[in-house]
Amino acid sequence: MHRSSVQRVRTVSERPGGKAVNVGRVLHQLGEKVPRRAAPSFPRLHTG
């Protein structure tokens, strides 16, 4: 059962959506490093 679950995770990560999630995580990390002064340049990260 564990092997099947791992395979599912791998297939999801290989899909384009998985890459989008990774990019979102990277942008989120960059947003944390970037000072609040640069916040206006990234309105999408602050929405929600």
pLDDT tens-digit map of 6-28? 556 565 555 666 666 777 777 77
Residue type for 4, please? S
Nearest 5 degrees, angle CA 30-CA 8-CA 2?
A: 110
What local confidence, expressed as pLDDT, does residue 27 receive? Answer: 74
Could you tell me how far CA 3 lies from the centroid of its own chain?
A: 25
Question: Is residue 45 within 8 Å of 26, Cβ to Cβ?
Answer: no
Q: Is residue 3's pLDDT more than 70?
A: no
Give the span between the Cα atoms of 15 and 41, in whole angstroms. Answer: 29
Q: Is residue 30's pLDDT more than 70?
A: yes
The pTM for the full model equals 0.29
